[in-house]
Structure 1
Amino acid sequence: MMDEQLNTYLYETLLPKEDWVLEMEQQAKKDHVPIMDPVSMEFIMQLIRLHQPVNILEIGTAIGYSALRMLQANPDAAIITIEKDDTRYHQAVRNIERQQHSGQINVIHGDALDEISKLVETGTVFDLVLIDAAKGQYKRFFELAAPLLRGGGLVLSDNVLFRGHVADPASANPRHAKMVEKLRDYNKWMMEHTAFSSSIVPVGDGIAISIKTAERSTIR
């Protein structure tokens, strides 16, 4: 996990945000909704500016913050985002409608494990997949989404270092121990995946970047 002093410095280097971005960040803080931290979000937006993905799949919408920020990075993108929680789903829909981006961001209400399987059946292909939902399910999300990703596409996984506890599991709160172990297993599995080239970047809470190096994913 990034040093707090360094993270504060990087936050201070970010350019001023538009009012709607600040309002959503304040809303998330007020409602105790975990959204991507600003430094991590800017890093992902820079990756999007570089790769210019047109079709994006997001697993874990929350209040729609990251979907709207990704669209900022590539205004030509079309985003499908999946949210299980009923309250957050309705918040996301309202926030996206407020910014007049309902035509480009499709929020699906449901369990991502089920909804990704439905997307596989439709033959939908994505250029980028962002995984930012239940950490204990990251491996399964990746497995399901991999066939939807074109060759050369990216899978981005947020929070893979989980406050640094993946490097030192003994430091984790006992109630997080199982999740930390699953993240450790996920990171190892992801790094060894034969159809992807992956790196873990210690930005924010840790972001994994996986590039699909084969047209078809073969799960080990």
Structure 2
Amino acid sequence: MDEMLNNYLVKHLPKKEDWVNEIESQAKVDHVPIMDPVGINFLMQLIRLNKPDNILEIGTAIGYSALRMNEANPDARITTIERDEIRYGQAVENVKNQQKENMIEIIHGDALEELTKLVDEKRKYNCIFIDAAKGQYKKFFELSLPLLKENGIVISDNVLFRGYVLEPNFEHKRYKKMVEKIKEYNEWLVNHPGFITTILPIGDGIAISYKK
């Protein structure tokens, strides 16, 4: 997104509470990637509009997006999965500090395994938010399908990955495979027969998939 336009949008976002600024500062100090201001506010607006009563998040990090989704809909019960032990501990602490333990359940484990357990438990969610290992997005989506209620939505973050998906011959050694995976995921997603998907150039790219 054009920097001037992004600055304009950020300037016109709703005022944040102090605890939000504190967690954002924590993420910056610890180099933890969280959603950018425009992206997280768009996600929150989706939550406000759809009012899902059960949300599944794949990729907790330090609990920032889970807490912001709770802020958007305090009545929603959120299940969130984090593999990294340090991030999991930080998320637990942040959720505890906001006294949201009764609304936000944090699971420590590999999402590829934990999603199967949730299916076995016959859990159901109106909204699934995918924001974890980019190379596993398709697997996360497929494993999540039995968990999604009819007319539910799946939101995938980072699907434009810094705009690299636009480059036809992207050769950056560190990100080449990841970009290829995201491109494949996007193509697969928009052609999925069970969903209607829109990809929006908000933040780092957000895909919204509506279950038919």
TM-score using structure 1 length: 0.95
Match of 1:187 in 2: 186
Offset of 1:80 from its aligned partner?
Answer: 0.3
Checking the alignment, whether the CA contact within 8 Å between 2:58 and 2:82 is kept in structure 1 is yes
Deviation at 1:209, TM superposition (A): 0.1
Aligned residues: 212
Unaligned runs of 5+ residues in structure 1 are 214-220
Deviation at 1:171, TM superposition (A): 4.7
SS of residue matched to 1:180: helix
The 3 A distance-change label for structure 1 pair 60 and 135 is same
Show the 5 A alignment for 1:143-162: 143-162=142-161
Counterpart AA for 2:32: V
Give 1:139 deviation, angstroms. 0.2
* Alpha-carbon distance in 1 for matches of 2:17, 2:49: 22
Residues 173-212 of structure 1 mapped to structure 2, 5 A cutoff: 173-212=172-211
Q: Which 5+ residue runs of structure 2 have no aligned equivalent?
A: none
- Residue 53 of structure 1 aligns with an amino acid whose one-letter code is P
Partner of 1:127: 126
The answer to whether the Cα contact below 8 Å between 2:170 and 2:176 also exists between their aligned partners in 1 is: no
Q: Distance in 1 between matches of 2:64 and 2:171?
A: 28
Equivalent-residue separation in structure 1 for 2:69 and 2:158 (angstroms): 17
Distance 1:98-1:193 versus aligned 2 partners, 3 A rule: same
**Alignment root-mean-square deviation, CA:** 0.9
Aligned to 1:75, what secondary structure does the other structure show?
coil
- After TM superposition, the structure 1 stretch with the greater mean CA deviation from structure 2, 172-181 or 35-44, is 172-181
TM-score by length of 2: 0.98
SS of residue paired to 1:174:
coil
User: 1:187 offset after TM fit, Å?
Assistant: 0.2
Question: 1:27 matched to which residue of 2?
Answer: 26
Aligned to 1:118: 117
Partner residue in 2 for 1:45: 44
Q: Percent identity?
A: 61
Q: 1:145-169 CA distances to partner (integer Å, 9 max, x unpaired)?
A: 0111011101000000000001115
1:172 to 1:74, Cα distance in 2 relative to 1, 3 A: farther
Counterpart Cα distance in 2 of 1:49 and 1:95: 22
Instruction: Name the aligned partner's letter for residue 42 of structure 2.
Output: F
CA displacement 1:70-110 (0-9 Å, x = unmatched): 00000100000000000000000000000000000000000
Shift of 1:16: 1.6
Q: Measure, in 2, the Cα distance between the counterparts of 1:149 and 1:17.
A: 31
Partner of 1:72: 71
Alignment match, 2:98: 99
Q: 4+ runs of 1 displaced by more than 6 Å?
A: none
